[in-house]
Structure 1
Amino acid sequence: MKNIYKLHSILVVIVFLLVSSCEDDLNVLPNDALSETDFLNNPDNAVALVTGVYNKQLDYNMYSFSWIGMTSITSDDADKGSTPSDTGTDKQKMDNLTFGPSDISFSDVWNGRYDGIYRANNALFYLEQLTIDETLKNRLIGEVKFLRALFYFDLVRCFGGVPLVTERIDINNSEEINNVVFVRKTKEETYAVIESDLMEAIDLLPLKSQYSPNDLGRATKGAAQALLAKAYLYQEKWQMAYDMSGNVITSGQYGLLPNYAEVWREVGENKSESIYEVQAALNAGIRDYTNVQGARGTPDLGWGFNSPSLALSNAYEPGDVRREATILFVQTTPFTLWDGFIGSSTWNNPRYNYKAYQSSIEESWNGDKGLTAKNLRILKYSDILLIRAEAASELGMVGEATDRVNEIRVRAGLAELTSVTITDVYKERRLEMAMEHDRWFDLVRTGQAVSAMAANGKTFIVGTHERFPIPQDQIIQSNGVLLQNPGY
């Protein structure tokens, strides 16, 4: 799958030249030899359509600086990092919970997801017309439905109910724009679209083991089930989250890697613990994801943002192997990283995100810090175990919750618990998923945000901070039709 991004790059340009007139970043010459009929009868173009949706995940406004700021720097697991004078434009505001509608992070995350949704809707429009093998067509539709659901899941977690664009939009149709693109739906309506897309994807997608090696990394039945279980969890649909996570667990497709530290390294990519990852390759990496979080100083590995907090460091039990695998601790003398690289005692911050570290020695490397070939884990098997445990705990199934938590604790080098409470599940989730962009959302949805932020010297404003502000530039473009969240 890493190679798919490169193999189909030319086709992707042709595809989006056909389906879109507003992709300003595509500076290409028209291809008069390709008619719409030719396009619709070539199965390679079907794959290219879908690859174009996957490719969106590599862009800067998807999982880079703004996403890191909104989902991690805001939380008690991370500090802004970098240097005191480098605010990262608005990342100091994220850290202090003093952000507002005009901050660029919100615009980036909003635009990135809707760019992906736009591509997904175009792909679905043309896939329905393509004269290709029906099995391939159905699989590709399932992949796109999964991706669109993932984009909307990010949006609803961040902003609450959002405009629901589920058909190809004519950008010159102002009435359609005003009635669809600029009209917010409720959170419940947004989740309903997510659930519908994922249920269809589950029916259409193959198991992970049924993909050829060249297609490893594409969305699978298990990925759709896992995301649906997570969507149910966020809505407190406990029985449905319990059942759907159980489908993933009993599928026989996934399992925990023996070594926790390898989960986020290249050696762990697309292995048994991986349910869905953004696939990165040399020269086609996730723009600046590792660069934003790399150690800052001499030798310089990046911008130094998103530094794991002291509170996170202190939350681990003695002997928990996840602490040293998650946090790169800067030492007072030169020290050795896991790959043999010599770290510097002069790096600016005392702690860095080890999960985001890209090795120039033991992993694929071309010297470009801005486009590293490091996959981003979106859905993991350990996440599913924790979803199962949380749902079980809420349903009063203490034994099941305890068993799932203990699977994770044993891998972490810790003693098993005889019984767990919901607080135990929350703690295990924090430590297992640390620095993986879930902590802020977990604090909000479980009602822990006020106390957690207070312990970190921050004020969480009830009634406001449960949702981020709708980007001000979007409200302006809509002439006020798009409504702002309360408190902003």
Structure 2
Amino acid sequence: MKTKHILLSILVISYTAFFSCEDYLDISQHGVNTLDDFYKTDADAEEAIIACYSSWKDTYQSAFWLKNLLSDDCYSAGESWTAASAQLLSTYTFDSDFSHIKTLYTNLYKVIYAANIVLEYVKGDSDIKFRARAEAKVFRAMSYIELISLWGTPPLVDHPLASNEYAQANGDTNALWALVNQDLTEAIESGNLEEKANPDAFTYRITKQFAQALLGKAYMYQKNYNDAAATLNAVVNSGKYALYTDFENIQTTKGEANCESMFESNYVYDANNATGIMSDMIWVYIHWRGDMLSFNEPTQIYSHGGWGFFNPTKESYDAFVGMGDTYRLNASIKTYQQMEDMGISLSGAIAYMPDNAGYFSWKYRVYEEDVINYYWLRCPNNARAMRYAEVLLLAAEANLQAGSATEAVECVNKVRTRARLSALVSVSMDDIKKEKRLELWMEGCRYQDLIRWGDAATVLAQRGRERPALYKDGRVSWNEQKNASAGFKTGKHELLPFPATEMNVNKNMKQNPGW
């Protein structure tokens, strides 16, 4: 057998090498560069910063799972209530060994590692190298904003670690935020980040205004409202971004690279490269549970094969209705009756659809022509890191807290005008919270906002206590889940647990409270 011959040859070669004279093993490597020797040219610098872009893209799927299912925007749904790990998130019954927590934590540090490589070895003596260093600082800061806001005291790693430095202790929160502030400020003031000529001049590279938006967001977490307002106002006043008019496609492939996107990761399908297959499956995960639906007539959207996770909550739907927000509602969520009017209903073979309160996500629908039937179903829709609407609402909050009510009203009304709502003459924090919930529904902002505002303990206390089920006649039943451990717990869930794998190998780390 050919395989056996190959394996035997490897064993013979290994045996011979092991017992040969040591001199034969003392051979210098050819065609291998050290880190100090490699990052010399512009091409090397570009390759190094591309690793940051690629690593950041890998954070998106686990972040989407974590941050949306921990909020009150959606139910987990999917396959099985008891078996699917997604339910552990939406019910707050997960532990430190939870896979998405480990994945996101690990992937964020991969971005930081890639950024530290650039900052350590790419020395600035050309425009490309200067830009690479500025972008690396933004990537490192962006990763730490996530790590600090979700874990509180992650290790501060500002250089490539030597082997005797791997067991890093918890970082000091103030020192971590100081690094974020410094990285973003230096990147912004360097003059080496791209700037768009106008809102329609899209670039996939990190821009100065995106770095400013991140710095403003970081200041909000630090409750430094004056600096946040000044920084976010600079983005608004730059005129480099605008609200996209087609809100119905704001998160579909038809809305990729639009004038509102502050930064997004580009997904391109390559039939010859099956790697990263999970990274562009998130959109099919969100799409409707195709095996439970029947399609009575052709539709413009993908009509089979979705997984049906992330079904909208009743609270989300009611929030839209309570605001009289019909435009954004219809662009975000469809009722079961609206689905039936489009020729889509529960399959005759299915008695009911679990974890569905009679609502379906429309914001993240997948168009038929976008689906790739390769190995597993995939959809190469771009991942948006931040929209201009979020900048406006952050600016509104910062200005209100800093005492600049006029600017706050102007920012909110820009968002409301696109939403086809009447303008407000004054705004309160409650107005901004409501506006942000609807505008950024299921875009991964809600959970961290609730924590930052101190509202999580009230809003999320009952998560997982009831389970809805949708029946073919449109009726919804609510089944009580007798699980006393379900729901947000004060003193525990304000921070995620550090992954169990990290705690097991790093004795210098201290676990977060309650875990």
Which of the five TM-score ranges fits, normalised by the shorter chain?
A: 0.7 to 0.9
Indicate how the Cα distance of structure 1 residues 367 and 51 shifts in structure 2: closer, same or farther if over 3 A, else same.
Answer: same
Answer whether contact 2:187 2:193 (CA < 8 A) is retained.
Answer: no
Q: Which of 285, 307, 311 is the matching residue for 1:307?
A: 311
Q: In the alignment, what sits opposite 2:499? A: 471
Q: Which of 412, 417, 420 is the matching residue for 2:424?
A: 417
Q: Which of 107, 115, 118 is the matching residue for 1:123?
A: 118
Q: In the alignment, what sits opposite 1:325? A: 331
CA displacement 1:165-208 (0-9 Å, x = unmatched): 110123xx23x223xxx211122221111111111221233343
- Structure possessing the higher radius of gyration over alpha carbons: 2
Give 1:343 deviation, angstroms: 4.3
Q: Give distance in 2, aligned partners of 1:192 and 1:333.
A: 49
Output the TM-score relative to the length of structure 1: 0.83
Report matched runs for 1:407-446 at 5 Å.
Answer: 407-446=414-453
Q: Give distance in 2, aligned partners of 1:392 and 1:148.
A: 27
Q: In terms of mean alpha carbon deviation, does 327-336 or 387-396 score higher? A: 327-336
Structure 1: state its 5+ residue gaps. Answer: 1-30, 337-341
Answer whether contact 1:289 1:356 (CA < 8 A) is retained.
Answer: no
CA displacement 1:312-366 (0-9 Å, x = unmatched): 0110133431112222444486554xxxxx64534944434333323233xx553
Matched, 1:94 2:89: yes
The DSSP-based 3-state class of the residue aligned with 2:290 is coil
Q: In the alignment, what sits opposite 1:345? A: 346
Q: Which of 257, 261, 266 is the matching residue for 2:248?
A: 261
Indicate how the Cα distance of structure 1 residues 335 and 56 shifts in structure 2: closer, same or farther if over 3 A, else same.
Answer: farther
Report matched runs for 1:2-13 at 5 Å.
Answer: none
Indicate how the Cα distance of structure 1 residues 474 and 455 shifts in structure 2: closer, same or farther if over 3 A, else same.
Answer: closer
Task: Give the letter aligned to residue 429 of structure 2.
Answer: I
Structure 2: state its 5+ residue gaps. Answer: 1-28, 271-275, 292-302, 466-485
Task: Give the letter aligned to residue 163 of structure 1.
Answer: P
Q: Which of 127, 136, 152 is the matching residue for 1:135?
A: 127
Q: Give distance in 2, aligned partners of 1:327 and 1:229.
A: 30
Q: Which of 359, 362, 368 is the matching residue for 1:354?
A: 362
Output the TM-score relative to the length of structure 2: 0.79
Count of residues paired in the alignment: 437
Answer whether contact 1:74 1:94 (CA < 8 A) is retained.
Answer: yes
Indicate how the Cα distance of structure 1 residues 371 and 194 shifts in structure 2: closer, same or farther if over 3 A, else same.
Answer: farther
Report matched runs for 1:52-91 at 5 Å.
Answer: 52-59=51-58, 62-64=59-61, 66-85=62-81, 87-89=83-85, 91=86
Q: In the alignment, what sits opposite 1:366? A: 372
The DSSP-based 3-state class of the residue aligned with 2:248 is helix
Q: Give distance in 1, aligned partners of 2:392 and 2:96.
A: 36
Q: In the alignment, what sits opposite 1:226? A: 213
Give 1:437 deviation, angstroms: 0.4
CA displacement 1:444-488 (0-9 Å, x = unmatched): 11011122124655643222111011111101011x321000111
Q: In the alignment, what sits opposite 1:51? A: 50
Report matched runs for 1:184-195 at 5 Å.
Answer: 184-195=170-181
Q: In terms of mean alpha carbon deviation, does 119-128 or 434-443 score higher? A: 119-128
Q: In the alignment, what sits opposite 2:9? A: none
Indicate how the Cα distance of structure 1 residues 370 and 147 shifts in structure 2: closer, same or farther if over 3 A, else same.
Answer: farther
Q: Give distance in 2, aligned partners of 1:343 and 1:208.
A: 45
Query: Kindly, what percent of the aligned residue pairs are identical?
Result: 28
Q: Which of 277, 281, 289 is the matching residue for 1:296?
A: 289
The DSSP-based 3-state class of the residue aligned with 1:88 is coil
CA displacement 1:350-405 (0-9 Å, x = unmatched): 434333323233xx553346542211111111111101111122123222212211
Q: Give distance in 2, aligned partners of 1:428 and 1:192.
A: 30
Cα RMSD of the aligned pairs, angstroms, is 2.6
Task: Give the letter aligned to residue 436 of structure 1.
Answer: E
Q: Give distance in 2, aligned partners of 1:194 and 1:202.
A: 12
Q: Give distance in 2, aligned partners of 1:39 and 1:371.
A: 36
Report matched runs for 1:237-256 at 5 Å.
Answer: 237-256=224-243
